[in-house]
Homo-oligomer: A and B are copies of this chain.
Amino acid sequence: MKTFLSRLLSRTLLTDEEQAAVLALRGTREEVLPQHAFVCGDEEDTTTCLIASGLCARTSLSSLGEQQITAFYMPGDIPDLQRVMVPESASTFAAITSAEVVRIRYSDIRETAIKYPGIAEALWRHTVCDSLILAEWIVNIGRRDARARLAHLFCESAVRSGNASGKSFSFDFPITQRNLADATGLSTVHVNRSMQALKRDHLFEVRGKVAWIDDWDALKAAGEFDIEYLNCKPPVRFNAMN
């Protein structure tokens, strides 16, 4: 629950009492194997899943059995937070790495949000930030070629990993080429070739589950990446802090 709280605090100011209320949330822990799905959004399920560790993705299947990843989620995220407001919006998720998820009843989250307006604000802001990323993905998939599409995704990953600084740096990158293909709407073969091109140009490289960025500015340019949409602003609060 600690990671969840710090994720909320990164965007919204919370009182000590509210912070305690977040930490008081309880759920049941669950292990998920790498590359396995873990929520099929059945009707009876009344829980939300907090990612405690590992990297996960929201996935949708097209009729031909092709997968599309619509978002990545990191520890502290609740990928189906939207169910607090729209319970019938079920989705499927997959663990990229091995992961631990904590299933929290969404009615518990809802009650906490009703009791503490600051928490409601934090959660609402969280869902908004999520949707800003979704809109950017539509632009990415709809209008950029393979190279730029991948570069953009790598930039986003770099910033969200929290390691983006300086001209060159590295960060954990457990995402397989198949996952990248699912996220960008490309084929695995073409992802492979495009990544080789990025490597050749000394922009981006993956060696053993670690990503290496040589020239951050050049990679951002290649992906037409504008960091704004990730909203890395200091935390705010509009509700009164009584």
Chain A interface (Cβ within 8 Å of chain B)? 58, 60, 62-63, 66-68, 70-71, 82, 85-86, 88-89, 91, 110, 114, 117, 120-121, 123-125, 127-132, 134-139, 141-144, 184-185, 224, 228-229, 231, 233, 238-240
Contacts and interface: CB of A to CB of B under 8 A. Distances in A.
Contacts of A132: 82, 86, 89
B229 A68 contact: no
Q: How many copies does the complex hold?
A: 2
The A interface is mostly helix, strand or loop, or mixed, namely helix
A62 B224 contact: yes
Nearest to A64: B143
A142 B229 contact: no
Nearest to A82: B128
B82 A185 contact: no
A209 B25 CA distance: 52
A138 B138 contact: yes
Contacts of A184: 142
A85 B138 contact: no
A109 to B, nearest CB: 10
A218 to B, nearest CB: 14
A63 B131 contact: no
A142 B231 contact: no
Contacts of A85: 121, 124-125, 128, 238
A88 B130 contact: no
Given A114-B239, A117-B117, A135 B233 contact: no
A199 to B, nearest CB: 22
Contacts of A185: 141-143
Closest 10 pairs between A and B when the two form their complex, measured CB to CB: A142-B185, A131-B131, A134-B134, A62-B143, A85-B125, A70-B135, A82-B128, A124-B124, A68-B139, A60-B139
